[in-house]
């Protein structure tokens, strides 16, 4: 249990009300925010300076604790519009959050409550007052550790028990976390993107019908599909190929999601292969990108520190252009494992890892990063139109 510091010059150090206990037994003291209790998961760092609410509600973060490298998180509060998770059961993606500075009162015209109150309402445990840059450097050197966050306003902790819990947490390798965030039933989506003068809009006429397989889909992905004139039907991750084809789609979208893609692929890959064999135009993002790679015979690998942030440069090898992208993934496709029919189209300029493929024998492509942004730059929004154009071309080939 943390001990109070002896008085010095008439003042005392405040007692720690939260601990971050790493799997190797390291104990970091700080001050609790959000929900009281414990949360456990893999610790990653995110370098974004804005968009913390979208990050904290991204279902792809299921099973993880997010450390923000930017020190001032929470200063614009939270609102009811910037949530990325669609399903009530996965209203927050993260297990816990680690901050450097204390959360201040919100200062933004869109704010409806403070970050601390918002975290409490979603049962997210957090800790502030840590040297997040030192923690980030540790992750860069040693990889993403498992950890437990404990928050007790009285500062009473069983440190040895917390160390045992942290050491016993399973590796992300082999974990299928999609069941935690996927939808339980089919639904339609027609909401479009937000504009200041009107809020969110709604799609009118539809150019094409897209069935989105939900591995943990984000709202803004669905909004941009609707923006592109698509009727969108979302189906659970466990939907069969026959169930999907019965909806008469013009194209298939493979969504983002959490966990080890190889574990999810045990039931997802056969469905995707069947859809590809039927000539369905297919577009994948993040986990969906990895699923497409697995479906054509590639393999995935765990990354040392992952990619989490809104400032990642990616080169489009087909055009030579560089896009600044938003990323959130801890696994990547091994480009060496891909067949010759899967051409690498995008590559990270940070570490050379694969960020996109296109199939030469099927109407399918995918990217590792998040072209919908939210948060992040909008350099890659064009990919949604590219998907619609792909469906148009395939439709034109079909016999009348």
pLDDT 10s digits, 179-215: 999 999 999 999 988 888 888 888 988 999 999 999 9
- State residue 198's pLDDT score: 83
Closest CA to 247 of 179, 183, 205, 188: 188
The domain ranges of the chain are: 18-168, 178-397
pLDDT in tens, the chain (400 residues): 444 434 444 455 689 999 999 999 999 999 999 999 999 999 999 999 999 999 999 999 999 999 999 999 999 999 999 999 997 555 568 999 999 999 999 999 999 999 999 999 999 999 999 999 999 999 999 999 999 999 999 999 999 999 999 999 999 999 999 999 999 999 999 998 888 888 888 898 899 999 999 999 999 999 999 999 999 999 999 999 999 999 999 999 999 999 999 999 999 999 999 999 999 999 999 999 999 999 999 999 999 999 999 999 999 999 999 999 999 999 999 999 999 999 999 999 999 999 999 999 999 999 999 999 999 999 999 999 999 999 999 999 877 6
Contacts of 197 (CB under 8 A, 6+ apart): none
- Domain 18-168: give its CATH architecture: 3-Layer(bba) Sandwich (3.50)
Closest CA to 203 of 393, 388, 13: 388
DSSP 167-178: HHPPPSTT---G
Beta pairing partners, 357? 344, 366
Structure tokens belonging to residue 33: 């925010």
- Helices 287-295, 261-277: axis angle to 10 degrees equals 60
- State residue 3's pLDDT score: 42
- State residue 88's pLDDT score: 56
Question: Residue 225: phi, psi to the nearest 5?
Answer: -65, -40
- State residue 83's pLDDT score: 93
Structure tokens belonging to residue 166: 């942290």
- State residue 6's pLDDT score: 40
Question: Residue 236: phi, psi to the nearest 5?
Answer: -60, 160
- State residue 4's pLDDT score: 41
**HEC profile for 218-266?**
EHHHHHHHHHCCEEEEEEECCCCHHHHHCCCCCEEEECCCCCCHHHHHH
Under DSSP, the state recorded for 300 is E
Rg of the Cα trace of the chain?
A: 22
Residue written as tokens 């003291």? 29
- State residue 220's pLDDT score: 96
Closest CA to 233 of 203, 267, 190, 204: 190
DSSP 59-123: GGGTTEEEEESSS--STT-B-SS---B-SGGGS---SEEE-SSPPPPP--TT--B-HHHHHHHTT
Burial class (CB in 10 A: 0-12, 13-18, 19+), 283: buried
- State residue 93's pLDDT score: 80
Question: Residue 292: phi, psi to the nearest 5?
Answer: -65, -40
Q: What is the pTM of this model?
A: 0.94
| Residues assigned a catalytic role | 286, 370, 372
Can you tell me the distance from the alpha carbon of 103 to that of 129, in angstroms, rounded to the nearest whole number? 10
- State residue 5's pLDDT score: 39
206 close to 230: Cβ distance less than 8 angstroms? yes
- Helices 219-227, 382-397: axis angle to 10 degrees equals 60
CATH class of 178-397: alpha beta
Can you tell me the distance from the alpha carbon of 73 to that of 270, in angstroms, rounded to the nearest whole number? 42
- State residue 399's pLDDT score: 75
């Amino acid at each position: 249990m943390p001990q109070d510091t002896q008085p010095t010059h008439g003042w005392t150090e405040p007692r720690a009300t939260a601990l971050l206990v790493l799997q190797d037994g390291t104990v970091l003291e700080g001050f609790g925010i959000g929900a009281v209790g414990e949360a456990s998961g893999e610790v990653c760092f995110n370098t974004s300076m804005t968009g913390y609410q979208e990050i904290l509600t991204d279902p792809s973060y299921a099973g993880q604790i997010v450390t923000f490298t930017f020190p001032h998180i929470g200063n614009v509060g939270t609102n009811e519009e910037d949530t990325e998770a669609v399903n009530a059961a996965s209203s927050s993606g993260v297990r816990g959050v680690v901050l450097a500075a204390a959360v201040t009162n919100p200062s933004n015209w869109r704010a409806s409550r403070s970050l601390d109150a918002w975290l409490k309402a979603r049962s997210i445990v957090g800790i502030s007052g840590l040297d997040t840059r030192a923690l980030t450097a540790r992750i860069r050197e040693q990889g993403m550790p498992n950890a437990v966050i404990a928050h007790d306003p009285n500062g009473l902790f069983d440190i040895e028990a917390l160390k045992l819990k942290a050491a016993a947490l399973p590796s992300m390798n082999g974990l299928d976390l999609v069941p935690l965030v996927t939808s339980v039933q089919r639904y339609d989506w027609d909401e479009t993107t937000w504009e200041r003068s009107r809020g969110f809009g709604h799609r009118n006429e539809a150019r094409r019908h897209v069935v989105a397989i939900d591995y943990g889909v984000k709202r803004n992905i669905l909004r941009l599909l609707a923006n592109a004139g698509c009727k969108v039907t979302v189906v659970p991750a466990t939907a069969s190929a026959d169930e999907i084809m019965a909806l008469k789609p013009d194209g298939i979208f493979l969504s983002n999601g959490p966990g080890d893609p190889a574990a999810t692929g045990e039931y997802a890959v056969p469905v995707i292969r069947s859809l590809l064999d039927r000539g369905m135009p297919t577009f994948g993002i993040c986990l969906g990108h990895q699923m497409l790679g697995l479906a054509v015979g590639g393999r995935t690998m765990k990354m040392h520190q992952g990619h989490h942030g809104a400032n990642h440069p990616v080169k489009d090898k087909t055009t030579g252009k560089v896009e600044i992208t938003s990323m959130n993934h801890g696994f990547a496709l091994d480009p060496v494992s891909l067949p010759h029919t899967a051409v690498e189209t995008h590559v990270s300029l940070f570490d050379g890892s694969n960020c996109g493929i296109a199939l030469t024998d099927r109407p399918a492509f995918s990217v590792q990063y998040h072209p919908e942004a939210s948060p992040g730059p909008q350099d890659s929004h064009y990919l949604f139109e590219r998907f619609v154009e792909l469906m148009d071309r395939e439709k034109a080939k079909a016999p009348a």
